[in-house]
Structure 1
Amino acid sequence: MTWWPMASANGGKLPQANKGQTPTFLIAALKDPGGANLDHIQIIKGWLDSSGLTQEKIFNVKWSGNRKMDPEGKLLPVGNTVNLETAEYTNTIGSPQLIRVFKDPSFNSKERAVYYLRALEIPTPRWTLYDKVRFGIEMDEEVPLIQQGRAFSSPIWYSP
């Protein structure tokens, strides 16, 4: 069964689950028309466990290309097309849209939880790289020259 969150000013609320129900989400992200392609999308789940302690888990839901998870369960990098000499990049990696259905594999109907979506773009030049190229200056090696833009959804809350 798919639940549709009820809209509110602070995100959405899932109705109380009946026995055996698990939240199921249709996840979709589209790149900005003039922006970078998408690397991957994630569901971030936070919850209060039976001891009242806060917990968090990040689920990689959908990613671009034919990448696989590494043995530790981490997603391998999408790649990088940023030219450090010109501060340009190409959209030859990543995907313009990512869509998938996600069902929480660790749902416990007795625990409060919150879900939200995080979408990550492919690597792009950071403002420091643009300054480096424009002004012909060297940056300290600790200064990041590349970034991965991110977008977040509003939260969806579950209360037993």
Structure 2
Amino acid sequence: GDTDERGKPTTFRSSPLEMLRIEGLRRARVFQNPGGVVGLWAEANNRDALFDAMKRREAFATSGPRIAPRFFGAWDLPEDLCQRPAKHRVSVGYARGIAMGGELSSQADEGGDAKRAPVFAAWAHRDLGRADGGEGLLQRIQIVKGWVGDDGRFHQAVFDAAGDPENGAGVDPQTCEPVGPGADQLCAVWRDPNFDPGRASVYYARIVENPSCRWSTRRCLALPAAERPDGCNAPGIPKTIQERAWTSPIWVEPRS
């Protein structure tokens, strides 16, 4: 299916103007988004290997781009892991820890510092299918942590692990041409600075692209200003978005 913002969510009955109109419609199509993508890390592209990957929960998803993130957790990883070839990073990740979707056991850190925090490695390459014109450059890698507090409620913290959220990237509002710097690939080795060894926690990686135009913005710009439907100026519809990918989480059990 079409998951690119250059495409659009549509039906065979929809005209370009109907796609952007709000007035008189209970479910205006301009509020819809293209579909996302789900991926698995499997040893082979066959039924058995794919189902094994599902059982391991070694899965990721994106908002549409073909970004393929890797995410590993361990009690110890080389600090220079990101300077090594990607194939070697994968080997080290499996050998020393667990991949996305797994559970990092405290038993795997026998003999280590009881207060040592887990370390995570995350990396991704931009969607090469969107490389023309500078679209799809990566802005940052985030590590998202979750835990249940003493109040019994779920808490969340987001850490920027690589890249720069203030890199100044954006788009030309009249042409949708991307402006500003970004990365073809990003990598991070990150250790939780606020780790509580007595509390269960969960972590996942999120890879965020530079801003790009939403599909509706592109469609509106293609029309003469006087012919643009009300959806082109609706305050609740963003002009730009930031495509992203996210991994299955890694669970860290508390130390007894």
TM-score with structure 1 length normalisation?
Answer: 0.80
SS at match of 2:171: coil
In 2, distance between residues paired with 1:57 and 1:155?
Answer: 14
Q: Which residue of the partner structure matches residue 26 of structure 2?
A: none
Q: How does 1:13-32 map onto structure 2 within 5 Å?
A: 13-16=103-106, 19-32=114-127
Q: Which residue of the partner structure matches residue 233 of structure 2?
A: 140
Q: Which residue of the partner structure matches residue 72 of structure 1?
A: none
Q: Which residue of the partner structure matches residue 144 of structure 2?
A: 44
Does the 8 A contact of 1:125 with 1:147 survive in 2? yes
Q: In angstroms, what is the RMSD of aligned CA positions?
A: 2.1
Bigger relative contact order, structure 1 or 2 (CA pairs below 8 A, ≥6 apart): 1
Q: Quick check: which one's helix share is greater? A: 2
In 1, distance between residues paired with 2:98 and 2:175?
Answer: 45
| 2:203 matches 1:107 | no
Does the 8 A contact of 1:50 with 1:111 survive in 2? no
C-alpha displacement of 1:79: 2.0
In 2, distance between residues paired with 1:40 and 1:151?
Answer: 11
Does the 8 A contact of 2:161 with 2:188 survive in 1? yes
Q: How many residues align?
A: 145
SS at match of 2:158: strand
1:120 aligns with one of 208, 213, 218: 208
Q: Which residue of the partner structure matches residue 157 of structure 1?
A: 251
C-alpha displacement of 1:93: 1.1
Q: Deviations over 1:83-127 (max 9, x none)?
A: 22223325x511111112100111111111110001110011111
Unaligned runs of 5+ in 1: 65-74
SS at match of 1:58: strand
C-alpha displacement of 1:52: 2.9
Q: Which of the pair has more CA radius of gyration?
A: 2
SS at match of 1:84: coil
In 2, distance between residues paired with 1:110 and 1:50?
Answer: 12
Q: Deviations over 1:28-83 (max 9, x none)?
A: 1211112311111110000112443321111111114xxxxxxxxxx5x3223422
Letter in 2 for 1:149: E
Identity of aligned residues (%): 31
In 2, distance between residues paired with 1:126 and 1:6?
Answer: 33
